[in-house]
Structure formats: C-alpha cells, structure tokens
Amino acid sequence: MRTTTPRRSAPRHSVPRRLVAVAGCLSLGALLSGCGSALGDDRNTVDYWLWDANQQPAYQECADRFEEDNPDLEIRIEQRGYDDYWNGLALGFVAESAPDVFTNHLSKYPEYVTRDLLLPLDEYVERDDVPLDIYEEGLADLWVGEDGRRYGLPKDWDAVGVFYDRAMLAEAGVDESTLDELTWNPDDGGSYEELIARLTVDVNGVRGDEPGFDPDRVETYGLWLEMTDGFNHGQTQYSMYAYANGWEATDRNPWGREFHFDDPAFQETITWWRGLIEKGYMPSFAAQRGVQSSDQLAAGNAAMVTNGSWMTGTFFSYEGLDVGVAPNPIGPTGQRATMFNGLADSVYRDTDNPEAAWQWVRYLASPECQRIVGAHHVVFPAITEAWEIAREEFAADGIDVTPFTRHVEEGTTELFPITDHSSEIAALMQPALEAVMSGRAPVESLNEVNEEINRLFE
C-alpha cells in the first residue's frame, strides 16, 4: 500500500444494505461535527471503516454473522475512497469522532501510535487467550509498536507480481512458460529486460529489440511505470528488484532507525529502472501521472504491469483482455523477491465502547470471518487456511495466483518497512525520486535525501 495506486479500488460489487451514507458530510464543518450524530454515540453500535469497495460484501457477511451471535450489537460499515478515507480519519481524530474500528495500514499506524490515537489490545488478547500463531509468519508481529504494545490483529497479506497481456505475448512470439524463469540484473536487465524490449512496439510496428525502433514514438510499452502520486516504499514499483539485488531498506525491521537509500544496491536498481524510460521501454513519469496501470494494460498501452495481489480481481474484470500473472524475476541474489504487506484492524483509543470494538476486531481476525473473506477471494486473508480458500476460489475462476502465493511458501518475502516519521519520509522521498526518474537529478542526489531522513531519528 498501500502511497501507490489506491489500494484495492475499482468497485465491482453492489452496495451493502447497511452502508452508511456520507453524502451529507461534505463540508469541513460537517465532518468536524461528526456529520450530525457523532460516530460511536450509540453504545450498541460499532462503526467500522474500510477503503476497499471490493471487500465490502465479504465484511458485510462477517457483520451479519457477528450480529447473529451478538444481537445486542450492530456493525455499521462505511467505505470511502482511499484518499478520502485517510483524510476523513485525520479529521475524525481532530474532532474526536473517528470510527470505533478501522482498517489500518503499516505506513500509517506508527504515527498514530506516536499521537496516542490507538487503543492497545494486549490486555484483551491475553484475557481472551487469542492465538497469534494462526497467522502467516511475521504478520502478527508487524502490529506490535516500538513500545512493545499491540495495536492491531492481522487482516490479510499481499505480494507483488507481473500482470501481462497474453495476446501481446503471443504476437511477440513469446512462450508464456518462459516468464516463470526470467532473470534480472541492474547491468543489462537480463532476460527480463529482453522481454520488456521485445514487447515494446513503436508507432511503425517496430519492436524494441529490432533495428529502427523509435523510442520517442512508442505505441505500446513493454512495462508500465506504475509510479503514481504517493510514496509507499516502492511496493509495486521497484522494491522487488532492489530486494532481489540484496538491498535492505533499513537497519532492522520493524522499527528501523536508519534507511539505506544511499546503498549502491538500491541506487543501481533505480538507475536501471530509469534506463527503461530512456530506452523507450517504459513511459515517462509525466506521461503516467494520474492514470491506473490496469487501465493501461486493458487499453493496449502496455504489455506488462507490476502490481499487487489485491488488484487481481480488477485486472481480470476487463472485457476483452486476456490477462495472465507471472512471478517477479530472479535477481542477482539468486532469488525473486516481493514486499510483504499486511493490513490489520485497529481500535480508536477514544471509542465510546472499547469492549464492543474489541469483540468486533477479534471476530474480524477469527478463522470464521477470514474464511468468509477467503471465499469472496478479493484478497488473501492472514490465516493460512483462509488464504488457501481464496487460492482455490481464484482457481475455480480460472485464475492462477501461484506467482503471489509462492513467495509465502518459498520464503522470498521482505516485510514492509515499519518506522516512525512515515509522513516525513514520504514528503522527502516522493519529490526526490520523481526528480531522479524524470532526469532532473542524478541518482546520487538520493544520498543527501537519505541523510535528511536518518536525521529524523536522531
């Protein structure tokens, strides 16, 4: 997630029956007053926010089941678009009218902990003897703050892969099976760059690996840039290459205090990545701003796109697009890599009913609810048996998600960097990386930015 292209967007489902209307909450004044009736003012109601419309049906089913077992409680679900979601939370925190429970992101929660906005869950976990070993390895630990207290229970996990247009591969004479063993290096890009070049076609029909290719007049790019507004540690953009090149984002994770954007392993990765733009194999930063990569694949403007597992349903929903998924290329380390991110549900510290909020969070993280989420197969739930259900449901739809799940099974994941000062880091890195990718600054300029970031922890 995260930020990158808004996480888990493009709604494809009907609106659930208990979706809370927000049309009357358009003004800042209305938001700050809690939209007329403050959230959480009913002690029998738990207000729950999420940002993914695709997941609403699954969580509404969980809410219905929860209410059957807890007839004295009602779950009110509200979904907002990704940007509106975080802006609404920020305003809710200021006005002390935030939802009782909300979907939380690893790039956000350290700052919320610092500001004392989240309710620690340790005493509830211990009291109710909640097992933490049922989740995929590492996911539960992500939500333990630097203070040693727990601020969420695991919800799901995600990985990054390569979505591609199967028809374009066939036209280029590429056997899809070769995508499973692609190799990459920062010097010449390996067989991965060879494929990217082959799939790039200029306006005259000349491919990127053929004589006469015009890099300034490209009809179809071999790889889409996938670098929209926001900085989320390069989750779907460059992290899989840098990690496969031996890079480590911080001195430790979680709660690192020293970033490594000055590491040669990182900078040579970015140099290679920028080189794809210079060669005409990937669009410029300016050309792709404000557009969604899945739309570019569907429109024929790109042959391959790197994106997250949460976007699988979106990519496969386009009519007329025959899409496949491939694993990330094998890097100089001899392994492929992906950033391993996982969401959680957290409780607002000033909720009017912490016990009811906890019971809902506990149920959200339970095998029963996560099996429901798995059956809806939009994302991979945090519990192993539940994400295996999702994999089976994807397979029933003819979708092979092995390129994502193999990372978990083979242990080729790198945890999302969790540190304090996430907003300051984003404010420094986003313009710096944009300048490098746009050719306005050398990659070495990231050294100074890295020093500024590390000074935040002094």
Q: Give Cα 55 distance to the centre of its chain.
A: 14
pLDDT in tens, 19-67: 333 333 333 333 333 333 333 445 689 999 999 999 999 999 999 999 9
In whole angstroms, what is the distance from residue 143 CA to residue 342 CA? Answer: 9
Asked, colleague to colleague, whether 28-158+343-382 and 160-340+417-455 share their fold, the answer is: yes
Rg (CA), the chain: 22
The region of weakest confidence among 55-59, 144-148, 225-229 is: 225-229
3-class SS at 135? strand
pLDDT given for residue 43 in this prediction: 65
**pLDDT tens digit sequence for 96-123:** 999 999 999 998 999 999 999 999 999 9
Largest separation between any pair of C-alpha atoms in the chain: 72
pLDDT digits (tens, 9 = 90+) for 147-165: 999 999 999 999 999 999 9
The predicted pLDDT at position 78 comes to 97
Is CATH 3.10.450.50 the right assignment for the domain spanning 28-158+343-382?
no
Listed residue (23, 93, 97, 103) closest to 56, CA to CA: 103
pLDDT at 290: 72
> Domain 160-340+417-455 falls in which CATH fold?
D-Maltodextrin-Binding Protein; domain 2 (3.40.190)
**Mean pLDDT for the chain overall:** 90
User: What's the distance, CA 41 to chain centroid?
Assistant: 32
C-beta separation of 181 from 233 below 8 A:
no
DSSP 141: G
- How would DSSP label each residue in 294-346? HHHHHHTSBSEEEEEGGGHHHHTTSTT--EEEEPPPB-TTSS--EEEB--EEE
pLDDT digits 0-9 by tens, 333-379: 999 999 998 999 999 999 999 999 999 999 999 999 999 999 999 99
- Are 412 and 160 contacting, i.e. CB atoms less than 8 angstroms apart? no
Q: pLDDT for 248-273, tens place per residue?
A: 999 999 899 999 999 999 999 999 99
Parallel/antiparallel/unpaired status of strands 304-308 and 160-165:
antiparallel
Residue-range domain boundaries for the chain: 28-158+343-382, 160-340+417-455
